[in-house]
């Protein structure tokens, strides 16, 4: 099930621009790891290298290693499509497929991968994952309505249901609550707490309180200077980072002295 991620000397580029440089860290299985840091420091870029979504951007390329339970994601014969099936992702803005109903959105990952299911089987999967995303009770009477008709928070939970329906082992979340109100944010955070018993979760957030609330480990990233690539400053248990960080920059950032 949930897998451990080891990042070794990872450098990522957008064309000639180096976005992050020489990142080495690991992510524990069945736990929540938060990435924090100022805008443009490469948190999202690092997140996108973990399921090979970085290379979807034109000019995006990566040097270094990302090991998923000791298997290098950037190895010579690795299929990026297979990687993305194992490492799911939830984006900053809720993005349900506009042509599909709520039901079809949850089933999209399975159907689009060309796997044929019996109707009853698919019904079970859809219900299980909507329950898993704490959305079932709100939508069970309108599964055939378009997903775009839901509220922002519901759409985001629909996207989470869609992501976990393909049964990934790792779930990456790129600022999943930044477009949501506090109540929806709370719903998502409760959900993250529930999901971490089964998945390895990595979450990028700009909200320090959120990082403190939901994560077990926190990684702080920073830019040494404008135009320079982002670097990992430190990664440690969340309590330690928020109470007694070993690098003064981290404390400055967390206490709001800059950033």
Partner 1 sequence: MTGRLRPPEDPGGEEERLRAAMPPGEPGPTRDLPAGAPGARPPAAPSPAPPGAAPPPAPRPVLRPPRLPRWSLAALLTGSLAVGTAAGLICRLSSHLQWGLIAAAVFVAATFGLTARVEGRRRAADRLAALLVWACFAVAVLPLAALVGETVARGAPGVDGYFLTHSMNGVLSWQHGGGVYHALLGTLEQVLLASLLALPVGLLTAVYLVEYGRGRLAAVVTFFVDVMAGIPSIVAGLFVLSLWITILDLGYSGLAGSLALALLMTPIVVRSTEEMLRLVPNELREAALALGVPKWRTTLRVVLPTCAGGIATGVMLALARIAGETAPILLLVFGTNMINRDPFHGAQSSLPLYVYEQWSFGTEPAYERAWAAALVLIALVMLLNLLARALARWKGPRPGP
Among 162, 177, 184, 241, binds partner 1 (CB under 8 A): 162
Q: Are strands 17-27 and 71-72 parallel, antiparallel or unpaired?
A: unpaired
* Nearest-approach distance from CB 2 to partner 1, in angstroms: 17
The verdict on 18 binding partner 1 (CB under 8 A) reads: no
Tell me the per-residue interface mask from 138 to 157 with partner 1, x by CB under 8 A, - otherwise: -------xx-xx--------
By CB under 8 A, what part of segment 100-129 binds partner 1? 100-101, 108-109, 112-114
Tell me phi and psi for residue 94, to 5 degrees. -55, 130
The verdict on 84 binding partner 1 (CB under 8 A) reads: yes
Candidate segments 21-29, 87-95, 229-237, 244-252, binder of partner 1 by CB under 8 A: 87-95
User: Under 8 Å CB-to-CB from 7, ≥6 apart: which residues?
Assistant: 23, 24, 25, 26, 27, 46, 50, 64, 65, 66, 67
User: Under 8 Å CB-to-CB from 229, ≥6 apart: which residues?
Assistant: 11, 18, 19, 20, 21, 42, 223
Q: Are strands 231-237 and 217-222 parallel, antiparallel or unpaired?
A: antiparallel
Residue among 30 and 86 whose Cβ is closer to partner 1: 86
What's CA 224's distance to the chain center, in Å? Answer: 25
The verdict on 56 binding partner 1 (CB under 8 A) reads: yes
Q: Which residues bind partner 1 (CB under 8 A)?
A: 51, 53, 56, 58, 81-86, 88-89, 91, 93, 95, 97-101, 108-109, 112-114, 145-146, 148-149, 159, 162-163, 166
């Amino acid at each position: 099930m949930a897998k451990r991620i080891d990042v070794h000397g990872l450098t990522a580029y957008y064309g000639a621009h180096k976005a992050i440089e020489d990142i080495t860290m690991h992510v524990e299985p069945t736990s929540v790891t938060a990435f924090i840091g100022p805008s443009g420091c490469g948190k999202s870029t690092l997140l996108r290298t973990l399921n090979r979504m970085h290379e979807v951007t034109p000019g995006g390329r990566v040097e270094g290693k990302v090991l998923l339970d000791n298997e290098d994601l950037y190895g010579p014969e690795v299929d990026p499509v297979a990687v993305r099936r194992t490492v799911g992702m939830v984006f900053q803005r809720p993005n349900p497929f506009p042509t599909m109903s709520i039901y079809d959105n949850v089933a999209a990952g399975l159907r689009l991968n060309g796997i044929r299911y019996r109707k009853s089987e698919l019904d079970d999967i859809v219900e299980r994952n909507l329950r898993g995303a704490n959305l079932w009770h709100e939508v069970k009477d309108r599964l055939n309505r378009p997903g775009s008709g839901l509220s922002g928070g519901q759409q985001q939970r629909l996207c989470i249901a869609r992501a976990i329906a393909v049964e990934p082992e790792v779930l990456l979340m790129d600022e999943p609550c930044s477009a949501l109100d506090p109540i929806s944010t709370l719903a998502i955070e409760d959900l993250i707490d529930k999901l971490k018993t089964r998945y390895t979760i990595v979450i990028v957030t700009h909200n320090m309180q959120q990082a403190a609330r939901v994560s077990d480990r926190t990684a702080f990233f920073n830019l040494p200077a404008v135009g320079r690539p982002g670097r990992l400053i430190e990664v440690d248990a969340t309590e330690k980072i928020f109470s007694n960080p070993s690098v003064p920059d981290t404390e400055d950032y967390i206490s709001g002295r800059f950033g």
